[in-house]
Amino acid sequence: MTQSSAIYKVPDVAGHTDVSYEEKARLFAEVKSDVRFSDYLYGCYECGICVAACPSARFYDFSPRRIAQAAAREDVELIYQQMQEDIWECSQCFSCLRCPRGNNPGGIITIMREVSINNGLNSAKEALGGYSRIIYKIMSTGTQVSPDMLQPDAFPDWGPETGDVSNNLDLWRRALPSDTLHTTSTGWDVSERTLVELYLIWFHTGALSMIKDVDSGLHAILQEIMEERLEDEGIEL
Amino acid sequence: MTIPMEALMHKKANFERDTERYHDFREELLNLADSGEIMLQRITGETAEVPTKYGRMKRIQKGHLWHHKSCGQCGHIPGYSTSIFWVMRKLGYDSLDPKDQTSCTAWNYYASATSNAAAQAAVAVRNFAAAHETGYYPMIHCGTSYGHYKEVRHELMAHPELRREVREVMKKLGKQLVLPEEIVHYSEWFHAMRHEIAAKQTRDFSNIAVTVHPACHYYKLVEGDAIYDPDVYGGQRTAVVTALAESLGAEVRNYSTWFDCCGFGFRHILVQRDFTRSFATLRKIERMKEEADPDVVLTHDTGCVTTLDKSQFATQAHGRNVGIAVMSEAQFAALAMGAHPYKVCQLHWHSADYRPLLEKMGIDHEQAWAEFQADLARLERGEKRYLDWDDVDA
Ligand code: SF4
Ligand code: SF4
């Protein structure tokens, strides 16, 4: 089955003909069923104000207007194409909230990304390539950015100061006057009990299982770390 | 082409607020608290009132505050966090720097979407519940945490099924679904306290020119809850940062691309930095340099300080017109109040050259660096394990 009206992208233009219309429709239904979707889309004037405000539109072949229009028209083929080719360009700055119609194209993209992750789409796997270390950090330690990430080979474009930080890391952290900031592998000192509570959140909201399809290795490592910690605390899932 | 700012400002000079336009969420929040659906943390003690975008007055608790820290600040720009702590201490307001706090996890969420609405709300509520248990009122350091938490509040108010789900998760943690009466960003506290800060100013900033980058997640997400003042930009832009800089006697200069994002991009800053660098320098730093030539860019969010500061090095190598110091207004205010540029403001973690700015402020940065090195030597000799608040004011 396909959509037949002239307002929809035909599959050979939208590409991804190896995926059935039914599968694409199922994915869009998942986007639409998110509680936030109805808050994020009220139709579209096609005025382009969101595009004028959008940083990603300046540097990529990307447009929040196209995202809002495709969602408003329920153009299943085009939405699938966007999920595979466009959504990871967005900067999630939410400048597009300037929309006079009250739309939130950036928010629609957040939901489309979630659905891509949940369903292990290729675009999601690619987007997460090189990113798994960060997910590991945030899910397992409770802070995303740690001082020891500042390595000159990871950030050569940030100038020689990155090398100074990494060469003096332990000493410079000990020179910070706040008790919680002497850490090097986490942003601050997060208590054990707090971490246990965070792990319970990842398990009980399904956030941990979301990454199973896109990065099974990372999922297995995180699951083991968390289960072990919870077991130590005598908590059964 | 440069945007004709004067003409635009003139056209908008007669702007009037439409107080009806923005739905006041507080009544709904109180109803939910009365019906036992949520636990509300109330503002207590001394407060200041500041106006929001459509005129609603927002109350800012002055003291007894729970520092909801930012992982990007604590991890990569620690002088941002220590300056917030230091200014608060100097003004005599007590606060708590908790270990029972996680990141809001929104940086990862906006970068990788490896989470969902319920998990994000649960992380926010867990932190709010942790603050509530201590009796200290949460103050959010990160602009993204602040924007994301406002979204979470909106979603929790709008969707009973989400509230139910989060309540269930909280029950497993032995906690309640707690929301604070107001979600407050640290830059709102600095704004509300700007006259108290200026009263303790020890360095003259009258020859310092600044540009302000307002942070997207501060004022674009749930826009009606951000601070706008009719006396600052005629109420057309958020008043935070700008009003503080003016209170300290600095000259705030205008530039055309103020509404543009910094280029952080959440995932881009980590794995697609060509975009971040280009946007930050071509659309922000070069515009500022050409149109305003400031001594420093002030901003009020983690990602913006990182992006605007770190993106200049590589661009400089291409001979572009960049090279402006970047810092948070918290560090700027701390310097105005006499803070040490290295022991408190930790400027050695920054990349763009800040030394010309320090010279204009009348700070001998070579001597300051030698003082900091002397402290480090004490640590290396094992005289102390850590520096503390007494050391940084010594
Ligand atoms: S949130 Fe995404 S789509 Fe919206 S303006 Fe920012 S980059 Fe563009
Ligand atoms: S600003 Fe809103 S109405 Fe205009 S094109 Fe974008 S989504 Fe459509």
pTM for the whole structure: 0.95
- What pLDDT score does B8 carry? 60
Q: Over range B83-99, report the average pLDDT.
A: 98
The more confident residue out of B220 and A213 is B220
Whether residue B5 is predicted with pLDDT greater than 70 in this model: the reply is no
Whether residue B378 is predicted with pLDDT greater than 90 in this model: the reply is yes
Whether residue B384 is predicted with pLDDT greater than 90 in this model: the reply is yes
Q: Over range A42-55, report the average pLDDT.
A: 95
Nearest bound ligand to CA A40? 2
Q: Over range B101-111, report the average pLDDT.
A: 93
Chain B hits for A202, Cβ within 8 Å: 119
In this structure, are strands B57-61 and B47-51 parallel, antiparallel, or unpaired? antiparallel
Q: Over range B287-296, report the average pLDDT.
A: 98
Phi, psi of B186 (to 5 degrees): -60, -30
**In whole angstroms, what is the distance from residue B352 CA to residue B287 CA?**
16
In this structure, are strands B39-41 and B47-51 parallel, antiparallel, or unpaired? unpaired
Minimum Cα–Cα distance from B270: chain A residue: A131
Minimum Cα–Cα distance from B172: chain A residue: A200
Whether residue B12 is predicted with pLDDT greater than 60 in this model: the reply is no
How many CB pairs lie under 8 A apart between chains A and B? Answer: 258
Q: Over range B249-262, report the average pLDDT.
A: 97
Q: What's the pLDDT tens digit per position in A128-162?
A: 887 888 899 999 999 998 999 999 999 999 999 99
Whether residue A11 is predicted with pLDDT greater than 80 in this model: the reply is no
Kindly state the percentage of chain B with pLDDT values over 90.
89
The predicted complex's ipTM stands at: 0.94
The pLDDT confidence band at residue A177, using thresholds 50, 70 and 90, is: very high
Whether residue A15 is predicted with pLDDT greater than 90 in this model: the reply is no
Distance from CA of B117 to the nearest CA of A (A): 8
**In whole angstroms, what is the distance from residue B40 CA to residue A142 CA?**
25
B376: number of Cβ within 10 Å: 17
* Of B70, B175, B279, Cβ closest to residue A59: B279
- For chain B, what is the mean pLDDT? 94
- What pLDDT score does B262 carry? 96
- What pLDDT score does A3 carry? 62
- What pLDDT score does B289 carry? 97
Q: Over range B40-65, report the average pLDDT.
A: 96
Could you identify the atom of ligand 2 that is nearest to the CA of residue A68? 7
Q: Of B265, B270, B107, B66, which is closest to residue A143 (Cα–Cα)? A: B107
Per CATH, the number for A21-126 is: 1.10.1060.10
A15 lines ligand 2 (CB under 6 A): no
Do residues A157 and B313 lie in contact, with contact meaning Cβ atoms separated by under 8 Å? yes
Chain A hits for B72, Cβ within 8 Å: 144-145, 187
- What pLDDT score does A129 carry? 83
* DSSP 8-state class, residue B49: E
Nearest bound ligand to CA A41? 2
Chain B hits for A114, Cβ within 8 Å: 113, 115-116
Whether residue B11 is predicted with pLDDT greater than 90 in this model: the reply is no
Grouping H, G, I as helix, E, B as strand and the rest as coil, residue B326 is strand
Kindly state the percentage of chain B with pLDDT values over 70.
94
Contact across the interface for B112 and A127, Cβ inside 8 Å: yes
Contact across the interface for A143 and B102, Cβ inside 8 Å: yes
Q: What's the pLDDT tens digit per position in B15-30?
A: 566 666 677 899 999 9
Q: Of B19, B31, B22, which is closest to residue B157 (Cα–Cα)? A: B31
CA atoms within 13 A on the CB side of A1: 7
The pLDDT confidence band at residue A57, using thresholds 50, 70 and 90, is: very high
Q: Over range B295-321, report the average pLDDT.
A: 96
Across A91-112, b (16+ Cβ under 10 Å) vs e yields bbbbbbbebeeebbbbbbbbbb
Contact across the interface for B169 and A145, Cβ inside 8 Å: no
Token pair listed for B126: 């867990």
Q: What's the pLDDT tens digit per position in B212-239?
A: 999 999 999 999 999 999 999 989 999 9
Whether residue B284 is predicted with pLDDT greater than 70 in this model: the reply is yes
Q: Over range A45-70, report the average pLDDT.
A: 96
Chain A hits for B299, Cβ within 8 Å: none
- What pLDDT score does B16 carry? 63
A109 lines ligand 2 (CB under 6 A): no
- What pLDDT score does B252 carry? 98
Q: Over range B386-393, report the average pLDDT.
A: 95
Minimum Cα–Cα distance from A124: chain B residue: B112
What is the DSSP secondary-structure string of A167-235? Answer: HTHHHHHHT-SSGGG--SSSSS---HHHHHHHHHHHHHTTHHHHTTTT-HHHHHHHHHHHHHHHHHTT-
Q: Of B263, B36, B314, B179, which is closest to residue A54 (Cα–Cα)? A: B263
Whether residue A13 is predicted with pLDDT greater than 90 in this model: the reply is no
Whether residue A6 is predicted with pLDDT greater than 70 in this model: the reply is no
Ligand 1: residues with CB < 6 A are A 53-56, 64, 90-96, 105-106, 109
Domains of chain B plus CATH, in order, are: 26-186 (1.20.1050.140), 203-370 (3.40.50.11810)
- What pLDDT score does B23 carry? 75
- What pLDDT score does B391 carry? 95
Token pair listed for A208: 């941990």
Whether residue B89 is predicted with pLDDT greater than 60 in this model: the reply is yes
| Residue ranges per structural domain of chain A | 21-126, 130-142+190-233, 147-181
CA–centroid distance, residue A50 to ligand 2 (Å): 6
What is the DSSP secondary-structure string of B270-290? Answer: HH-HHHHHHIIIIIIIHHHHH
